[in-house]
Amino acid sequence: MGSAPSHSLHLITEKSVAEAYLRNAERLDFYLEECHDSPMNLIARQKLVYAPNTVANAAHYQDVLKRLVIPSRLRMDLPDVSIISLMPSADAGMPHTRPGNIICVPHLEQLTSKQTMIHELWHLHQRQYHEGWEKIFSLLGWAPWKGELPARLEENRRLNPDTLDAPLWIFQDTWIPVPIFRDIRNPVLSEADIWFYHAKEGHHLRAVPLSLQSLFPAASPMAFEHPRELTAYVLSEPDMHRDAPGWKILMDSIGQGAII
């Protein structure tokens, strides 16, 4: 995927610096603007505060980051990573990434979860090595989808900052996963289901299609939202997926350094 100096994780402790990082990220991905322009996403976020939070116990959490055991592939490929503490309600408390190699955490305790941090680091890897990951996704049966969803699906689609630049992918030229708010009368950001739209026949399923589930049988339904999410989940929980048909493809593509 490329070669770069070993990375380090930097917790941004000054709110003014964090604000500047987020402004730059917004100029690159227009995430908050996209949310504002989508009525359903705007409603789901109306009581949420997306802004930097004060960092307490910074030395403790920086030490946590220093002790985090990171797979060698991530250490080799990623440059320095900036971590921003957000207000607890930001994105309903869900950690996510932004351009500029930023990981956003609404709760600093999330930094203590190796699974969470590895997941987010793989999202940064996917951002930086977009073309390489597109090839991996192709080997797994995925391709970008440039078509248009039915209005009912598009209007109720939950936006995801980790997939914002390429939100729709098609599996085996048939199934397109779409995250849909569970209650469209009262959308809640943390409550969504994955619907699978059949591109050829125009219907949808609310259960993971068997052809897709068989790729990684132990993965949860929410993991199938997007090939980026699926691979980030799998690589952050390797012991659950070593016998899956898709595992060898990932290891042949990224190498054992993806997990050790």
Band the pLDDT of 54: cuts 50, 70, 90: very high
Tell me: pLDDT of 39 over 50.
yes
Mean pLDDT to the nearest integer, 232-258: 97
Q: How far apart are CA 21 and CA 24, in angstroms?
A: 5
Buried b (16+ CB within 10 A) or exposed e, 232-247: bbbbbbbebbeebebb
Tokens 């994780």 found at: 9
Partners of 144 in beta bridges: 169
> Do 23 and 118 have their domain in common?
yes
Mean pLDDT to the nearest integer, 143-170: 97
Q: Indicate the DSSP class of residue 93.
A: G
- The predicted pLDDT at position 206 comes to 96
Tell me: pLDDT of 1 over 80.
no
Q: How far apart are CA 233 and CA 223, in angstroms?
A: 6
Q: How far apart are CA 222 and CA 233, in angstroms?
A: 10
Tell me: pLDDT of 259 over 80.
yes
> Do 96 and 197 have their domain in common?
no
> Do 72 and 110 have their domain in common?
yes
Residue pair 145/170 in contact (Cβ under 8 Å)? The answer is yes
DSSP per-residue codes, 98-115: ETTTEEEESSGGGGG-HH
* Number of separate domains in the chain: 2
Q: Indicate the DSSP class of residue 87.
A: P
- The predicted pLDDT at position 5 comes to 37
> Do 158 and 101 have their domain in common?
no
Give me the helices (H) in the chain, please: 15-29, 31-37, 39-44, 58-67, 72-77, 114-128, 130-139, 151-155, 210-213, 227-236, 245-254
DSSP per-residue codes, 150-205: -HHHHHTBPP-TTTTTS--EEETTTEEEEEEES-TTS--TT-EEEEEEETTT--EE
The one-letter code for the residue type at 221 is: P
Tell me: pLDDT of 41 over 80.
yes
- The predicted pLDDT at position 55 comes to 97
Q: What interhelical angle do 227-236 and 130-139 show, nearest 10?
A: 90
> Do 120 and 16 have their domain in common?
yes
Q: Look up the domain containing 199 and give its range.
A: 130-258
Tokens 């997990």 found at: 259
Q: Does residue 155 fall inside a structural domain?
A: yes
- The predicted pLDDT at position 4 comes to 36
> Do 137 and 226 have their domain in common?
yes
- The predicted pLDDT at position 8 comes to 87
> Do 235 and 246 have their domain in common?
yes
Q: Which pair of structure tokens corresponds to residue 67?
A: 């002790």
User: Positive or negative, the Cα torsion across 233, 238, 244, 245?
Assistant: positive
**Domain C-terminal end among 113, 128, 143:** 128
Q: Which pair of structure tokens corresponds to residue 81?
A: 């990573």
For the chain, what is the mean pLDDT? 96
What confidence tens digit (pLDDT) does each residue in 78-135 have? 989 999 999 999 999 999 999 999 999 999 999 999 999 999 999 999 999 999 999 9
> Do 47 and 72 have their domain in common?
yes
> Do 141 and 231 have their domain in common?
yes
What confidence tens digit (pLDDT) does each residue in 141-150 have? 999 999 999 9
Tell me: pLDDT of 3 over 60.
no
**Domain C-terminal end among 99, 128, 157:** 128
Tell me: pLDDT of 6 over 60.
no
Residue pair 103/82 in contact (Cβ under 8 Å)? The answer is yes
**Domain C-terminal end among 105, 128, 151:** 128
Q: Does residue 210 fall inside a structural domain?
A: yes
> Do 124 and 149 have their domain in common?
no
